Structure 1
Amino acid sequence: MRLATWNVNSLKVRLPQVLQWLAETPVDVLCLQELKMDQDAFPLADIEAAGYRAAWLGQKTYNGVAILVRDGHSLDDVVPGIPGYDDEQRRVIAATVGGVRVICAYFVNGEAVDSPKYPYKLAWLAELERYVADELARHPALALLGDYNIAPDDRDVYDPEAWKDKVLCSVPERDAFRRLIGLGLTDSFRLFNQDEKQYSWWDYRAMMFRRNLGLRIDHILISDALKARATECVIDKAPRKWERPSDHTPVVLTLAE
């Protein structure tokens, strides 16, 4: 069973890339972030023609998340948003797929540590932590996939000194990431790859991708039940080389049956 996450930075723009990638890399579950489209604009017919079903939570211009599930797998108990948290931004959707609780999340960016959006990010992270703790109590086999907008440590940043104490790398954000780990989750990528200069996002400007000046901010955290089944987690850089790419690229986790 393969699970993947990908911030597509507008599904309307990136739909051809998503369909191409699914044809070449037929994962069982694909979590998408930054759909940037209304609920009724979701291209369900194209997704179904590619052999997938979907649950999604759309929002025009910003945000929006979706879980795509390959035909033959269940898609049950879909929950949009964070229960008990009144948030106008549509950033989270969860479903159970083949016995695995899948939470797809587009974490708040925060803009800058002195921005009004930064306290919202920290408050949102606290609500997500509460929600994930509740879900873990109900679903021992759980994966939290998404664009976290957090680089967990200096290995995940091309220039740690330049990014020190800045948004995506600030101490409170990294502490929030560690609290998620503390719930009983594991960074699946680090189970297999301890190399430096492994990134999932590169700014469009200044040839950052060609120079490999990026950040690892897209993650798949997994519970202990899935940790025992994990066999591989990789960053697939290929779509970042395609025409009109997202600034993010997919991360793919493989689980043994």
Structure 2
Amino acid sequence: MKIATYNINGIKARLPRLKEWLEETRPTVACLQEIKSMDENFPAGEFEEIGYKAIWHGQKSFNGVAILVDANVVPDGPVETQRGLGIDGPKEGEGEQARYLEADVNGVRIACIYLPNGNPHPGPKFDYKLAWMKRLRERMAELWAQEIPAVVAGDYNVIPEDKDVWSPKAMASDALMQPESRDAYFRLLGDGWTDAVDTLNPRGGVWTYWDYQAGAWQRDHGFRIDHLLLSPELADRMTAVGVDKEYRGREKASDHTPVWVEIAG
């Protein structure tokens, strides 16, 4: 079972690249972030044509998450278990943003997340980021207590360590690298979740994001913010991880690239 996460940065703009990746690599599960689409405009039919069933949680112009499942492997597709974490956005009266979607797929609980960026720091957006991470930890503790194989996959908007960024100095003032952001991330690991990419790449130097600005892709000025955290029941079955780096270099690509884990059984 291959489980992937991919911040697509606008599903309408990247649809050809997304379908290309799905057909070329055929992940069993693909967790998407930043679909930037209202629910009624989500292109579910496009994915059905290539054998994927989908559930999604959209929002106009911003955010949005989706879970795609290869129906050739799992005919029932994803069975939704929860959407949202019940935490409002940083603006008064804004309501909840579309950042969390959870489903069962072939005996595995899949949580797809798009964690708040938190910039500018300090400020209400950073406070919202930390509050969201606290609520996420509570939900992950609930999943842990169920003792089921689970993965929490997505764009965490956290650079865990200096080894996960091309230049710690260049990103030092960014919300992605603040001590509070990192502490909140490591509390998840301290609770017993396994960072799949870091476990099999302990020296770091693995990037999942390259900005569109300043020639970041061409200069390989990237960092790692897309993570797959595995419960013990799933971590024991991990056989491989990877980053599909080449897809970042294709025409009209997302600024992120897919990240995946292979699970035995």
TM normalised by structure 1 equals 0.96
Does structure 1 residue 164 correspond to structure 2 residue 185? no
Q: Given the alignment, which residue of 99, 109, 122 partners 2:130?
A: 122
**Contact 1:146–1:219 (CA under 8 A) maintained in structure 2:** yes
Does structure 1 residue 145 correspond to structure 2 residue 145? no
**Contact 1:146–1:218 (CA under 8 A) maintained in structure 2:** yes
Q: Distance in 2 between matches of 1:66 and 1:143?
A: 15
User: What RMSD in Å do the two structures reach over aligned CA positions?
Assistant: 1.2
SS at match of 1:211: coil
Structure 1 residue 135, shift from structure 2 partner? 1.6
Taking a change above 3 Å as real, the CA distance of residues 39 and 194 of structure 1, as seen in their structure-2 partners, is: same
Q: Distance in 2 between matches of 1:139 and 1:41?
A: 36
The number of residues matched between the two structures is 256
Q: Given the alignment, which residue of 177, 180, 183 partners 2:185?
A: 177
Q: Distance in 1 between matches of 2:146 and 2:40?
A: 31
Partner of 1:28: 28
Taking a change above 3 Å as real, the CA distance of residues 124 and 115 of structure 1, as seen in their structure-2 partners, is: same
Structure 1 residue 132, shift from structure 2 partner? 1.1
Q: Given the alignment, which residue of 200, 203, 212 partners 1:192?
A: 200
Which is worse superposed, 134-143 or 48-57? Answer: 134-143
SS at match of 1:219: strand
Structure 1 residue 18, shift from structure 2 partner? 0.8
CA offsets 1:104-131 (integer angstroms, 9 cap, x no match): 0000001122232110111111111111
Taking a change above 3 Å as real, the CA distance of residues 77 and 38 of structure 1, as seen in their structure-2 partners, is: closer
Which is worse superposed, 157-166 or 96-105? Answer: 157-166
SS at match of 2:154: strand
Letter in 2 for 1:34: E
Letter in 2 for 1:205: Q
SS at match of 1:47: helix
Does structure 1 residue 79 correspond to structure 2 residue 79? no
**Contact 1:56–1:66 (CA under 8 A) maintained in structure 2:** yes
SS at match of 1:68: strand
Partner of 1:100: 108
Q: Distance in 2 between matches of 1:197 and 1:189?
A: 11
Q: Would you identify which runs of 4 or more consecutive aligned residues in structure 1 move more than 6 Å?
A: none
Percent identity, please: 42
**Contact 1:55–1:78 (CA under 8 A) maintained in structure 2:** no
SS at match of 1:37: coil
Structure 1 residue 253, shift from structure 2 partner? 0.5
SS at match of 1:178: helix
**Contact 2:119–2:174 (CA under 8 A) maintained in structure 1:** no
Structure 2 residue ranges without an equivalent (≥5): 89-94
**Contact 1:165–1:171 (CA under 8 A) maintained in structure 2:** no
Does structure 1 residue 14 correspond to structure 2 residue 22? no
CA offsets 1:61-113 (integer angstroms, 9 cap, x no match): 1000000001031422431111x445521100000111110000000001122
Q: Distance in 2 between matches of 1:168 and 1:146?
A: 14
SS at match of 2:110: strand
Q: Distance in 2 between matches of 1:99 and 1:172?
A: 34
Q: Distance in 1 between matches of 2:205 and 2:80?
A: 38
Structure 1 residue 139, shift from structure 2 partner? 4.4
SS at match of 1:95: strand
**Contact 2:87–2:96 (CA under 8 A) maintained in structure 1:** no
SS at match of 1:163: coil
Q: Given the alignment, which residue of 201, 205, 225 partners 2:233?
A: 225
